[in-house]
């Protein structure tokens, strides 16, 4: 039991909640602890979001498709709460897919328990509202950016617009043409920019794949 | 009293709440009804947001500055709740300024009452979480757009990125150079695009000002 307390208290949604309330919650709310093997799918893009999913351990890859063969992938560190802003509102569907990269432990809480129990606790409620408000604020800030001038800046703009975390490993799986088209840039300029990034060690270019080992490198100049 | 009930029940945050709960709320929560004269300031950009502001009647102009002399303005119909996503989260400051365009009636509820009373009501809580989740979802969708190709499309992209409402009157107060720079386009191309829009009746060009009488016109083709 001690470990379950510790696990829950690590999660941003339960932070600050007192031991007494947590004991009460554990008595009333059904918590599902699940294991996903490496390479298995945890959530698919556009699935209905009817539960809170906490990634507890392991590494998860979030993937966002712009179209077929044009996918942005991001490595997500745990603990992490998947898309709390998709559980409510008009569009209750996941905005991305989530795949286990290593073996992953997940805690699942059904929406009905979130509504009937968890949101009755003031601390949980604030944590939840704070997390969603932060999300709206972060996205708002991104919208303020000007359209960048060069192919290099357009690639960096694209990466930072779509990253949940400002640092860490990202991956673009795409045809060069699709990226060029999305960024309204010529294929040649995109290719030059990527080669320049590769010389600096900021990206690794593979066939139809760009690996960004550590996005923070782009912002260290 | 009957009218105060009706007024509150019009507001999205109170929708669906029962008469009994509303009576209870009115007994416990201090509601401030304020009047703003035309041209007076209701909220300034970057003010700390420590209350919920409901615009009840009249017309309000929200203004967002990109830099000095480069301002996007939008006419906001009432009833309207100002930035519920700025009351919580890391950045509890308003993201825009709000100015009374006509005489405006406002209902103010302090954050302390939102926390200690209103959020205890399940319906209010859901309405609130739904509204913030919607906001995050709307902003997320905007981020998915590709960088547009022509000067005309860049202007439309800019307008729809920054509009809270997809239709209605908007206003851009700026030097042509600033808009061209923000959109990474030449001054000449921006000027041509705007003149083309003016011929169609979609914009009115004034000195350092672009009036968009009805943004829906851009999307009717």
CA distance B68 to chain A (A): 15
Task: State the DSSP code for A165.
Answer: S
How does DSSP classify residue A13? T
d(CA A54, CA B128): 23
Question: Is A111 in CB contact (< 8 Å) with chain B?
Answer: no
CA distance B64 to B74: 9
Contact A125 B119 (CB under 8 A): yes
Q: Using one digit for the tens of pLDDT, what is the confidence trace for B166-190?
A: 999 999 999 999 999 999 999 999 9
Tell me: pLDDT of B221 over 80. no
Residue A2's pLDDT band, with cuts at 50, 70 and 90, is low
**Per-position DSSP letters for chain A, written without gaps between them:** -HHHHHHHHHSTTTTT--HHHHHHHHHHS--EEEEE-TT-EEE-TT-B--EEEEEEES-EEEEEEEETTEEEEEEEPSSEE--GGGSSSS--B-SSEEEESS-EEEEEEEHHHHHHTGGGSHHHHHHHHHHHHHHHHHHHHHHTPPPPSSHHHHHHHHHHHH-SSSSS-EEEEE-HHHHHHHTT--HHHHHHHHHHHHHHTS-EEETTEEEES-GGGGG--
| pTM > 0.80: yes or no | yes
Radius of gyration in angstroms for the set of CA atoms belonging to chain B, rounded to a whole number = 20
At B31-87, the pLDDT tens digits run 999 999 999 999 999 999 999 999 999 999 999 998 888 999 999 988 999 999 999
The closest alpha carbon to B57, from B7, B125, B1, belongs to B7
Going by their DSSP bridges, the two strands A104-110 and A97-100 should be labelled as unpaired
Share of chain A above pLDDT 90, in %: 83
Q: Which of B147, B154, B182 lies closest to A183 in CB terms? A: B147
Task: Nearest chain A residue to B163 by CA: give it.
Answer: A143
| Tokens linked to B214 | 């009805």
B217 to chain A, minimum CA–CA distance in Å? 23
Which of B122, B139, B154 is nearest residue A139 as measured by Cβ atoms?
A: B139
- The model's pLDDT over B118-166, given as tens digits with 9 standing for 90+, comes to 999 999 999 999 999 999 999 999 988 999 999 999 999 999 999 999 9
Q: What is the predicted pLDDT for the residue at A220? A: 84
**B125 close contact with A: CB closer than 8 A:** yes
The answer, for A93 touching chain B at a CB cutoff of 8 Å, is no
> Has residue B5 got a pLDDT over 90?
no
Average pLDDT for B91-105: 96
The complex scores an ipTM of 0.93
Distance (Å, whole) CA A21 – CA A126: 15
What is the distance in angstroms between the Cα of B2 and the nearest Cα belonging to chain A? 30
* Residue A1: band (very low, low, confident or very high) from pLDDT cuts 50, 70, 90: very low
What residues does A64 pair with on adjacent strands?
A72
Containing A22, the helix (H) or strand (E) segment is helix A19-28
Considering only alpha carbons, which residue of chain A is nearest residue B141? A95
- DSSP string across B152-200: HHHHHHHHHHH-SSSSS-EEEEE-HHHHHHHTT--HHHHHHHHHHHHHH
Nearest CA to A129 out of B127, B72, B10 is that of B127
Min distance B87 CA to chain A CA atoms (Å): 8
Q: B6 with B22: CB under 8 angstroms?
A: no
* Domains of chain B from N-terminus onward: 2-144 (2.60.120.10), 151-219 (1.10.10.10)
pLDDT digits (tens, 9 = 90+) for B53-69: 999 999 999 999 988 88
A7: confidence class by pLDDT, cuts 50, 70, 90: confident
Report, as an integer, the average pLDDT of B206-214. 95
Mark yes or no for CB contact A147/B184 under 8 Å.
Answer: yes
**A42-96 per-position pLDDT tens digit:** 999 999 999 999 999 999 999 999 888 899 999 998 899 999 999 999 999 999 9
- C-alpha neighbours within 13 Å on the C-beta side of residue A206: 9
The pLDDT of residue B33 is 93
Residue A144 DSSP SS3: coil
| CB-based contact, A143 to chain B, within 8 Å | yes
Q: Which residues of B touch A137 (CB under 8 A)?
A: 85-86, 89-91, 95
Residue A221: the pLDDT is: 67
Strands, DSSP E only, in A145-215?
Answer: 170-174, 204-206, 209-212
Q: Are A103 and A52 in contact (CB under 8 A)?
A: no
Query: A163-188: per-residue pLDDT in tens?
Result: 999 999 999 999 999 999 999 999 99
Are the beta carbons of B129 and A132 separated by less than 8 Å? yes
DSSP A131: H
Question: Is residue B85 within 8 Å of residue B194, measured between CB atoms?
Answer: no
In angstroms, the separation between the Cα of residue A52 and the nearest Cα of chain B is 14
Enumerate the residues of chain A whose CB falls inside 8 A of the CB of residue B131: 89
In this prediction, residue B6 carries a pLDDT of 83
For chain B, give the percent of residues with pLDDT over 90.
Answer: 83
């Amino acid at each position: 039991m001690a470990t379950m307390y510790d696990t829950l208290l690590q999660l941003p949604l339960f932070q600050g909640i007192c031991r007494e309330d947590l004991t009460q919650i554990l008595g009333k709310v059904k918590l599902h602890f699940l294991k996903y093997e490496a390479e298995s799918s945890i959530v698919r893009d556009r699935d209905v979001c009817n539960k809170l999913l906490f990634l507890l351990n392991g590494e998860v890859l979030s993937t966002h498709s712009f179209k077929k063969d044009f996918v942005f992938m991001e490595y997500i560190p745990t603990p992490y709460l998947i898309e709390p802003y998709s559980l409510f509102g008009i569009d209750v569907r996941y905005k991305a897919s989530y795949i286990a990269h290593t073996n992953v432990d997940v805690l699942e809480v059904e929406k009905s328990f979130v509504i009937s129990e968890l949101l009755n606790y003031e601390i949980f409620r604030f944590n939840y509202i704070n997390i969603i408000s932060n999300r709206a604020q972060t996205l708002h800030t991104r919208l303020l950016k000007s359209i960048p001038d060069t192919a290099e800046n357009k690639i960096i703009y694209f990466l930072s617009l779509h990253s949940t975390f400002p640092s860490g490993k990202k991956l673009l799986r795409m045809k060069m043409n699709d990226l060029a088209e999305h960024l309204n840039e010529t294929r040649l300029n995109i290719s030059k920019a990527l080669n320049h990034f590769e010389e600096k060690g900021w990206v690794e270019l593979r066939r139809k794949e760009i690996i960004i080992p550590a996005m923070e490198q782009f912002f260290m100049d």
